[in-house]
Amino acid sequence: MKPNKYNNQANKEAVNHCQQCLMRPISLFSDLQESDFDLLRQPINIIELEAEEILYKEKQVIRYLYTVRSGLLKQVRYLDDGSYRIVRLLRQGDIAGIEALNNTFYKQHTLVLQKASLCQIPIKNIKALDQKSTCLYKPLMARWQKIQQDADLWITEFSVGHSKKRMANLLIYLAGENDTDFFFLPSREDIGALLAIRTETASRIIAEFKRQGCLQTKGNYAKINFSKLKQFY
Amino acid sequence: MKPNKYNNQANKEAVNHCQQCLMRPISLFSDLQESDFDLLRQPINIIELEAEEILYKEKQVIRYLYTVRSGLLKQVRYLDDGSYRIVRLLRQGDIAGIEALNNTFYKQHTLVLQKASLCQIPIKNIKALDQKSTCLYKPLMARWQKIQQDADLWITEFSVGHSKKRMANLLIYLAGENDTDFFFLPSREDIGALLAIRTETASRIIAEFKRQGCLQTKGNYAKINFSKLKQFY
DNA sequence: CGGATCGTTGACAGGTATCAATGCTGGTGG
DNA sequence: CCACCAGCATTGATACCTGTCAACGATCCG
């Protein structure tokens, strides 16, 4: 998958920009020293992907690791019957392809849900850094742990109990900190894949939440009424 | 939680034994150099826990990290309604308390399912090693990745679809590589907590599998008939 | 021999999947 | 500009599955 089509004007300048980047505090490079930046030989591009685009596929050779600057991505696993389950969502600060350091191939399919901007970091850079410096150690460990915690959340909040409760949990998760704003609401099919329910069931619950005034939608975006949602929570 | 009651005859000798330990290739210490072993100042005990015993609780201060030598442990999260869900199983080679390097407190409750033997590694040792050497880096990264992969498995195999299919997946998982041997079969309640179903449902399915000849039980142990189980798989 | 705990089974209610039809919306091409 | 189409969302009817409540059996232990 060559990213020719993407916003590919990366250059030496782009690399240096990492030092001043607004994302840096929440990026993998938070602990880099000035000298470490010299190890970033390959250009680090910023790529923009539209909804539905594939970032990478499972078993594809790992060339890049990505930091999510904005947008929303899903990591999916396909089931025997051809359907799929979303096993993880990636948001600002999350990393796609973190398995790069241990593996040659990506472990999940990763696709864009909501128009996303990502830092595309060549795996060569990461490996060079990793061999010469310990600056990636802490940030990586923190990411891994977040992955574990998110997984626990998934298993307990999105996979157990009545589907209305799961949906309420998901909406609150999607709303994030600012639960008064509109947030991206995935398609019914994706919601089904998130919560392990059918699209029809997802649709029914969304519809009921709207009737009850817990939820307001505008295209692919939604806003929750937190206090009214509590009855299902 | 002081481990006085446990097999606590650890001593300098026990530490040195790590170098020759049969578990070492699959332990965190696989990459240690001879000199690194000098950093293991605190004694490393081997502890034996019976079923139902608590290894540690969530939010407890982290003092030790554990490598599973044998047996089976569960990591659980309690839900609002007082019930619990098992989010992870730990088997030989797995680590309990891997969050030790990033955190002061344990993140999950961890309990013994099947009588277990564990290496109890003082967190001081780990931190000393971690500061002076990079020998823990690779093994830790590999563990984290296994955790992620197991989580994906959990989400896709144990949380989606009909409960018979989930049960079949679980039995195959529990059987491990040697699917012709008897393996530990958790209580119906724990199976319920593994698969997000009620104990009664778990019981019914187990009973049906037995009637169909897919499954044979002997106390807390079971053996599967792989080919007959496939119809549900 | 109780008593406690766990597993099994039954009856029934409620929830979700399934199948099918219809509405809605955004994009395309005439 | 509008008609049409494709894809997604919604809704209904029904069957199936699982949860719930309850009773009973099995096993272990004091």
Binning pLDDT at 50, 70 and 90, where does residue B179 land? confident
Is A183 an 8 Å CB contact of chain B?
no
CB-to-strand C under 7 Å, chain B 172-211:
187-189, 199-200, 203-204, 206-207, 210
Q: List chain A domain ranges.
A: 3-157, 163-232
In CATH, which superfamily holds the domain spanning A3-157? Answer: Jelly Rolls (2.60.120.10)
Q: Is the model's pLDDT at B2 over the cut of 60?
A: no
Instruction: Say whether B141 and A140 touch across the interface (CB within 8 A).
Output: yes
Residue with tokens 């999350």: A94
User: Whole-angstrom Cα distance, residue B181 to residue B164?
Assistant: 21
Q: Which nucleotides of C are covered by protein (CB under 7 A)?
A: 6-11, 15-20, 26
User: Whole-angstrom Cα distance, residue B52 to residue A32?
Assistant: 45
Q: Is the model's pLDDT at A202 over the cut of 80?
A: yes
Q: Is the model's pLDDT at A2 over the cut of 60?
A: no
Distance between A15 CA and the closest CA of chain B, angstroms: 26
Mean pLDDT rounded to a whole number for chain B? 89
Mean pLDDT of A228-233: 86
The pLDDT of residue A1 is: 37
Binning pLDDT at 50, 70 and 90, where does residue A16 land? low
A14 contact to strand C (CB, 7 A limit): no
Instruction: Say whether A151 and B149 touch across the interface (CB within 8 A).
Output: no
Query: Stated in angstroms, how far is A204 CA from C21 C1'?
Result: 16
Domain B163-232 has what CATH class?
A: mainly alpha
Is A221 an 8 Å CB contact of chain B?
no
Q: Are A8 and A47 in contact (CB under 8 A)?
A: yes
The pLDDT of residue A91 is: 95
Q: Of A123-137, A201-215, B72-86, B202-216, which gets the smallest average pLDDT?
A: A123-137
Q: Are B136 and B130 in contact (CB under 8 A)?
A: yes
Binning pLDDT at 50, 70 and 90, where does residue A37 land? confident
The pLDDT of residue B16 is: 60
Q: Which residue has the higher pLDDT, A195 or B31?
A: A195
Instruction: Say whether B87 and A156 touch across the interface (CB within 8 A).
Output: yes
- In this predicted model, what pLDDT tens digit does every residue of A160-201 receive, in sequence order? 999 999 999 999 999 998 777 899 999 999 999 999 999 999
A217 forms beta bridges with: A222
Q: Are A41 and A98 in contact (CB under 8 A)?
A: no
Mean pLDDT of B163-172: 96
Is A127 an 8 Å CB contact of chain B?
no
Distance between A7 CA and the closest CA of chain B, angstroms: 31
Binning pLDDT at 50, 70 and 90, where does residue B79 land? very high
Interface with A, mutate which of B75, B79, B152, B166 (most A CBs under 10 A): B152
Q: Which residue has the higher pLDDT, B185 or A36?
A: B185
Binning pLDDT at 50, 70 and 90, where does residue A32 land? confident
